[in-house]
Amino acid sequence: MTLPVHFVWSIARQFCSPVPLLLGALCLPASSHAQSAPDRAVARLVLPVVVPVAQTSDASTQPAAAPADQPDAPAPAPPPGWPGGLRMYGTVDTYYAYNFNEPGSGTNVLRNFDEQDNQFSMSYAEIAVEQAPTTDRRVGFRADFGFGPTATWIDSVDPNGGELRYVQQAYVSVLTPVGRGLQIDAGKFVTPIGAEPIETFGNWNYSRSLLFSWAAPYYHAGVRASLPISDTVSVSGFLLNGWNNAEDNNRAKTVAAQVTWKPTSSLSVLQAYMGGREGPQGSDGVRHLFDTVATWTVTPRLALMTNVDIGRDQIDGQTVAWQGVAAYGRVMVTPTWAVSPRVEVFEDRDGFATGTAQTLRELTLTSEHILGLGVSLRLEYRRDWSTEDFFEYRADRFRRQQNTLLVGLTYAMSTP
């Protein structure tokens, strides 16, 4: 789909003010011994490794891949260790956020996973176990169990009434000898859409973008198949119940396709489409979502990324639209200190996503300090603003902006 001209112009116009700050952050001096910049895999953003996390077959906890790795390539045979090549991963995530609007509800508006204001909060704890399929053992599995407010939030709209709330994903994998290795996964798994994973340690910023929170789904139940076509191209196809529903809310199914192109070791582009009837009993029209993610490792110290989402649906015979773009940067100032700015525009033209017809913008600046032993400390300033009086201000008023400061502490680990 071609971006409407007015959308492109509005993005350019609204980005004008944050650009100097973004460029300034990206020009910070960096150590000559800085860590490698991040890479991309399976439509999920991955972070420069803060602990020696082993490569996994799923991007929700996947570490930075080596430049020559293919996103959907069959997993290599695991090293000796746990019986049968089993691997385990885990993370714990806590934060404190202060909202300068002092909202009476104690909630940061529009935020996912860091919505609590002025209190110390545990966001998420996750443990995952995996046995990746290989050419020697063609059947494998993956199961991720998550606990805390994040798990409740993710599963809050599923028609199953929360039966799988604590199962972020669980699927069986079969690696077939078709082509370069066609892998088929069946079960519940995280969405291929977007630039950010659910787990904080896999993101450049602590808070999630507006696109992550309001433009795209979190997870799906169904079947996916992934196949490397060449050294630079891989494709994936999906047959799903729908958006965020382990139990389908109608008899219609959703389909999706994704193409990953990695022309060089430093550049990757992912294009995805998802479409299907999402209304109760399939009464509404087909929901369409186009998602593009591009990541460029400019130098070992600097990485850039952009994400574009364009969505359409029909409600009572009327077309509703939402669309947005986010731009990210990450600079390794020293081997243990990274600075990551993010700027974003999200147009909710008909109020389909947020409940109010508005254009939202946000600017985030995150300073991450890698403390060692799997522990990462993040300090973050974020400003959100809208074309409407949308953000709660104290007890009974609303204003067009919201400013927050946040301190987040994250732990991540994996077995060899």
Other beta carbons less than 10 A from residue 285's beta carbon: 18
pTM of the model: 0.81
Provide the residue-wise pLDDT of the chain in tens; the chain has 416 residues.
444 434 434 444 444 443 333 333 333 333 332 333 223 232 232 223 233 333 333 433 333 333 333 334 344 444 455 667 899 999 999 999 999 999 999 999 999 999 999 999 999 999 999 999 999 999 999 999 999 999 999 999 999 888 999 999 999 999 999 999 999 999 999 999 999 999 999 999 999 999 999 999 999 999 999 999 999 999 999 999 999 999 998 889 999 999 999 999 999 999 999 999 988 765 678 999 999 999 999 999 999 999 999 999 998 889 999 999 999 999 999 999 999 999 999 999 999 999 999 999 999 999 999 999 999 999 999 999 999 999 999 998 999 999 999 999 999 999 98
- Quick one: pLDDT at residue 101? 98
Q: Give the separation between CA 221 and CA 344, rounded to whole angstroms.
A: 29
Q: Give the separation between CA 240 and CA 217, rounded to whole angstroms.
A: 12
Specify the residue for token string 């990551």. Answer: 340
- Quick one: pLDDT at residue 279? 82
Per the structure, the complete domain to which residue 67 belongs is given by 5-414
Q: Give the separation between CA 181 and CA 412, rounded to whole angstroms.
A: 30
Other beta carbons less than 10 A from residue 197's beta carbon: 24
Q: Which residue type sits at 30?
A: A
Number of domain units in the chain: 1
Which residues, 6+ apart, have CB-to-CB distance to 5 below 8 Å? none
- Candidates 30, 113, 32, 42; CA nearest to 74 is 42
Q: Which two tokens stand for residue 47?
A: 């972070």
- Quick one: pLDDT at residue 10? 44
Q: Give the separation between CA 327 and CA 307, rounded to whole angstroms.
A: 7
- Candidates 151, 102, 100; CA nearest to 122 is 151
Residue 115 φ/ψ, nearest 5 degrees: -85, -15
Specify the residue for token string 């993010």. Answer: 342
Other beta carbons less than 10 A from residue 52's beta carbon: 11
Give the helix/strand (H/E) hosting 383. strand 375-386
Q: Give the separation between CA 208 and CA 401, rounded to whole angstroms.
A: 17
Q: Which two tokens stand for residue 199?
A: 């787990």
Measured at the alpha carbon of residue 233, what is the angle toward residues 270 and 260, in degrees to the nearest 5? 10
Q: Give the separation between CA 308 and CA 297, rounded to whole angstroms.
A: 18
Q: Which long-range contacts (CB under 8 A, 24 or more apart) does 153-162 make?
A: 153/112, 153/113, 153/115, 154/198, 154/218, 154/219, 154/244, 155/244, 157/244, 157/245, 158/244, 158/245, 158/246, 158/247, 159/245, 159/247, 159/248, 159/249, 160/245, 160/246, 160/247
CATH code for the domain of 80: 2.40.160.10
